[in-house]
């Protein structure tokens, strides 16, 4: 190869006609043009067409811009799956700004941290979460425009429902101009969303998604899951979780209908599936449990095939079998917040059609093979970066390369560089490679507990418990749990004079200091196993936790 330019590089440059930055916003523009009257969203008795959704997004975007929001700004939202959070996946990036959807289950302190770290200028909040958010705003201290979503479908508890802002979502939207000309990104590398995920450190890290990745994720999912045009899709995955695995944009590309589900309860899911003939559905294994084990009076007979993807933990074979008998075809997928959602899929091979349900479940428990838009995922020895042998036994770390990998962690150069060391994204998941090229996770190298589909940082939980005067040393690990997948389990060494401290006492202490889903379900008092250098052997504790 010589360094002289070939004729293929001469006078054949990119220009406005042959190179347009990729953005999932293109999908909604095409769909409102081609299928303006097709249904975009159904939520309770609210129904919108694609043209209506597009116009609502335009007006909301215009109102944001009039408020001064533009390129490089952050707009946060705390809401369950309703049409509003769906719309912000389009309206916020239409201004050039970045959408930051925050987990509704977080405690005030962490919400305040995220608002501050993410530099939010606007916060959209469903009034069900007003008690926590009010507290968070007190801690946040800075100026911010608050917009309230008032949802008549919300089942408000005492103290909930307070309006915190100047406008409701609808009032704010009406301030916008329907003739607003929204902004395509000038660069497909531009940030589109900011998703905080619990890392190994105490504070969550802000994962930055780019337009290119969200576009390609949407396209890849169509192939990975055989999604047809105009499909009916029910998301039991919160859109604050990896942007609902990118499906708000995928559904726009396919001119499908997305069904919002505020509360994930079996009866609603069955009713939606049967009444609307929903064909595609996604949810954490906990949701599969819910469906499979629903009481008979909540179940409905399903007469069509429903395709399900589930992620976060391998679906147990009993659940799989029950789901298949109910008419669901389940595919296990794997991904991380850092990878826009799924990047591995346990793709089915017709060679396995004749296997027993037990053998099938064993296969379906594997995380699988790469998604179509991914480039390379392998199990590598973390030291040598050589692929492990394909023996289903040798452990290595899952490492990832592709265009649906984050830009990096927001304002965190060190963690960004660490996660991208040697040109691979390091998943932190320890896995084996089977002879047929399917990957299966065996352990986790990062201190993360995944409970009900949510990441919990064990370090964060440890930091809280360590503040109790009785605690001398604490280590928190994941304990397998039938319903939640995993729950935090704490091992504690007590200070002298505090030997009478009880499990209940420490759990009460946790209740006051962290979100419910992060609380350890078990606290064990014992001497912690340590290495010769004094490092706690978490691997040993994980084994013990399993046996409890």
CB proximity list for 425: less than 8 A, separation 6 or greater: 338, 339, 399, 400, 401, 405, 406, 419
**Contact flag: residue 229 with a second copy (CB under 8 A):** yes
Distance CA 277, CA 398 (A): 37
Rounded to the nearest whole angstrom, what is the least distance from the CB of residue 236 to a second copy in the complex?
Answer: 24
Rounded to the nearest whole angstrom, what is the least distance from the CB of residue 180 to a second copy in the complex?
Answer: 16
The count of chain residues that interact with a second copy, using the rule CB under 8 A, is 71
Nearer to a second copy, 122 or 461 (CB): 122
Tokens read off for 321: 């079998």
Among the listed residues 156, 178, 189, 263, the single contact to a second copy using CB under 8 A: 189
CB proximity list for 257: less than 8 A, separation 6 or greater: 38, 39, 40, 41, 42, 230, 231, 232, 233, 251, 276
Nearer to a second copy, 13 or 384 (CB): 13
Instruction: Give which of 533, 531, 529, 532 is closest to 542, Cα–Cα.
Output: 529
Distance CA 496, CA 359 (A): 52
Rounded to the nearest whole angstrom, what is the least distance from the CB of residue 6 to a second copy in the complex?
Answer: 3
Among the listed residues 402, 485, 488, 520, the single contact to a second copy using CB under 8 A: 402
Nearer to a second copy, 114 or 400 (CB): 400
Residue list 25-84, contact with a second copy (CB under 8 A):
26-27, 30, 33-35, 37, 70-73
Among the listed residues 237, 253, 361, 490, the single contact to a second copy using CB under 8 A: 253
Residue list 144-173, contact with a second copy (CB under 8 A):
none
Rounded to the nearest whole angstrom, what is the least distance from the CB of residue 539 to a second copy in the complex?
Answer: 27
Nearer to a second copy, 47 or 229 (CB): 229
Among the listed residues 134, 203, 267, 401, the single contact to a second copy using CB under 8 A: 401
Query: Element (H or E) spanning 495, and its range?
Result: none
**Contact flag: residue 98 with a second copy (CB under 8 A):** yes
The CA-atom distances, in angstroms, between 183 and each of 251, 511, 531 are 21, 45, 56
**Contact flag: residue 354 with a second copy (CB under 8 A):** no
Rounded to the nearest whole angstrom, what is the least distance from the CB of residue 514 to a second copy in the complex?
Answer: 28
**Contact flag: residue 548 with a second copy (CB under 8 A):** no
The stretch among 103-111, 329-337, 357-365, 367-375 that binds a second copy (CB under 8 A) is 367-375
Nearer to a second copy, 372 or 529 (CB): 372
Torsion angle, alpha carbons of 428, 434, 440, 445, to 10? -20
CB proximity list for 9: less than 8 A, separation 6 or greater: none
Local structure of 373: helix, strand or coil: coil
Confirm if 126 and 103 have CB atoms less than 8 A apart: no
Distance CA 329, CA 334 (A): 17
Nearer to a second copy, 71 or 355 (CB): 71
The stretch among 146-154, 373-381, 463-471, 501-509 that binds a second copy (CB under 8 A) is 373-381
Confirm if 72 and 96 have CB atoms less than 8 A apart: yes
Residue list 310-349, contact with a second copy (CB under 8 A):
347, 349
Tokens read off for 370: 């790469």
Which residues are bridge partners to 430 per DSSP?
Answer: 397, 443
CB proximity list for 469: less than 8 A, separation 6 or greater: 495, 498
**Contact flag: residue 534 with a second copy (CB under 8 A):** no
Rounded to the nearest whole angstrom, what is the least distance from the CB of residue 302 to a second copy in the complex?
Answer: 21
Nearer to a second copy, 215 or 270 (CB): 215
Rounded to the nearest whole angstrom, what is the least distance from the CB of residue 274 to a second copy in the complex?
Answer: 22
Buried b (16+ CB within 10 A) or exposed e, 73-99: bbbbbbbbbbbbbbbbbbbbbbbbbbb
Residue list 404-433, contact with a second copy (CB under 8 A):
405-408, 410-411, 413, 416, 420, 423-425
**Contact flag: residue 351 with a second copy (CB under 8 A):** yes
**Contact flag: residue 22 with a second copy (CB under 8 A):** yes
Distance CA 300, CA 281 (A): 16
Instruction: Give Dmax over CA atoms of the chain in angstroms.
Output: 82
Residue list 254-293, contact with a second copy (CB under 8 A):
254
Distance CA 113, CA 141 (A): 11
* Binding characters for a second copy, 208-227, by CB under 8 A (x = yes): x----x-----xx-xx--x-
Nearer to a second copy, 370 or 471 (CB): 370
**Contact flag: residue 186 with a second copy (CB under 8 A):** no
Which residues are bridge partners to 124 per DSSP?
Answer: 77, 147
Rounded to the nearest whole angstrom, what is the least distance from the CB of residue 55 to a second copy in the complex?
Answer: 16
Among the listed residues 159, 389, 437, 469, the single contact to a second copy using CB under 8 A: 437
Nearer to a second copy, 338 or 462 (CB): 338
Among the listed residues 17, 383, 504, 548, the single contact to a second copy using CB under 8 A: 17
Rounded to the nearest whole angstrom, what is the least distance from the CB of residue 208 to a second copy in the complex?
Answer: 6
Tokens read off for 84: 């509003």
Rounded to the nearest whole angstrom, what is the least distance from the CB of residue 318 to a second copy in the complex?
Answer: 27
The dihedral through the CA atoms of 533, 539, 543, 546 has a sign that is positive
**Contact flag: residue 204 with a second copy (CB under 8 A):** no
The stretch among 16-24, 52-60, 465-473, 521-529 that binds a second copy (CB under 8 A) is 16-24
Beta strands in 403-510 (DSSP E): 408-409, 425-433, 439-444, 448-451, 454-457, 471-481, 485-494
Cα 102 to chain center, whole Å?
Answer: 10
Rounded to the nearest whole angstrom, what is the least distance from the CB of residue 94 to a second copy in the complex?
Answer: 15
């Amino acid at each position: 190869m010589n360094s002289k330019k070939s004729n293929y590089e001469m006078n054949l440059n990119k220009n406005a006609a042959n190179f347009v930055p990729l953005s999932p916003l293109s999908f909604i523009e095409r769909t409102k043009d081609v299928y303006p009257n097709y249904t975009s969203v159904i939520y309770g008795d609210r129904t919108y067409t694609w043209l209506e959704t597009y116009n609502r997004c335009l007006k909301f975007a215009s109102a944001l811009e009039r408020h001064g929001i533009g390129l490089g700004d952050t707009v946060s939202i705390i809401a369950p799956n309703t049409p509003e959070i769906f719309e912000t996946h389009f309206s916020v990036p239409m201004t050039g700004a970045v959408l930051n959807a925050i987990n509704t289950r977080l405690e005030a302190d962490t919400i305040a941290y995220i608002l501050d770290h993410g530099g939010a200028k606007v916060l959209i909040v469903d009034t069900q979460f007003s008690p926590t958010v009010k507290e968070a705003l007190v801690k946040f201290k800075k100026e911010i425009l608050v917009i309230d979503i008032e949802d008549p479908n919300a089942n408000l508890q005492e103290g909930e429902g307070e309006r915190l802002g100047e406008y409701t979502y609808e009032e704010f939207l009406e301030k916008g101009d329907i003739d607003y000309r929204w902004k395509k990104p000038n660069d497909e590398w531009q940030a589109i969303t900011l998703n905080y995920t619990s890392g190994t450190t105490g504070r969550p890290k802000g994962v930055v998604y780019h337009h290119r990745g969200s576009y390609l994720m949407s396209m890849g999912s169509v192939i990975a899951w055989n999604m047809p045009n105009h499909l009916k899709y029910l998301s039991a995955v919160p859109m604050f979780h990896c942007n609902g695995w990118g499906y708000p944009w995928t559904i726009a590309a396919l001119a499908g209908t997305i069904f919002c589900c505020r509360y994930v309860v079996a009866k609603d899911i069955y009713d939606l599936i049967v009444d609307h003939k929903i064909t595609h559905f996604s949810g954490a294994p906990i949701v599969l449990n819910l469906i499979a084990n629903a009481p008979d009076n909540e179940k409905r007979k399903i007469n069509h095939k429903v395709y399900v993807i589930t992620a976060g933990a391998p679906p147990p074979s009993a659940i799989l079998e029950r789901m298949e008998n109910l008419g669901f075809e389940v595919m296990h997928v794997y991904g991380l917040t850092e990878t826009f959602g799924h990047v591995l899929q346990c793709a089915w091979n017709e060679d396995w059609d004749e296997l027993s349900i037990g053998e099938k479940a064993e296969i379906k428990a594997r995380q699988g093979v790469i998604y179509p838009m991914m480039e390379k995922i392998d199990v590598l020895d973390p030291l040598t970066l050589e692929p492990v042998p394909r023996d289903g036994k040798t452990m290595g770390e899952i490492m990832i390369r592709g265009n649906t990998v984050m830009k990096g962690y927001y304002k965190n150069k060190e963690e960004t560089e660490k996660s991208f060391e040697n040109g691979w994204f390091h998943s932190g998941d320890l896995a084996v490679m089977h002879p047929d090229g399917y990957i299966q996770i065996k352990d986790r190298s990062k201190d993360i507990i995944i409970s009900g589909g949510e990441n919990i940082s064990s370090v964060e939980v440890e930091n809280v418990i360590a503040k109790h005067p009785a605690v001398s040393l604490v280590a928190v690990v994941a304990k397998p749990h039938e319903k939640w997948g995993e729950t935090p389990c704490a091992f504690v060494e007590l200070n002298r004079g505090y030997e009478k401290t009880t499990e209940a006492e420490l759990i009460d202490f946790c209740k006051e200091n962290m979100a419910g889903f992060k609380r350890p379900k078990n606290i064990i008092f014992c001497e912690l196993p340590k290495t010769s250098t004094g490092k706690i052997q978490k691997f040993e504790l994980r084994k013990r936790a399993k046996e409890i």
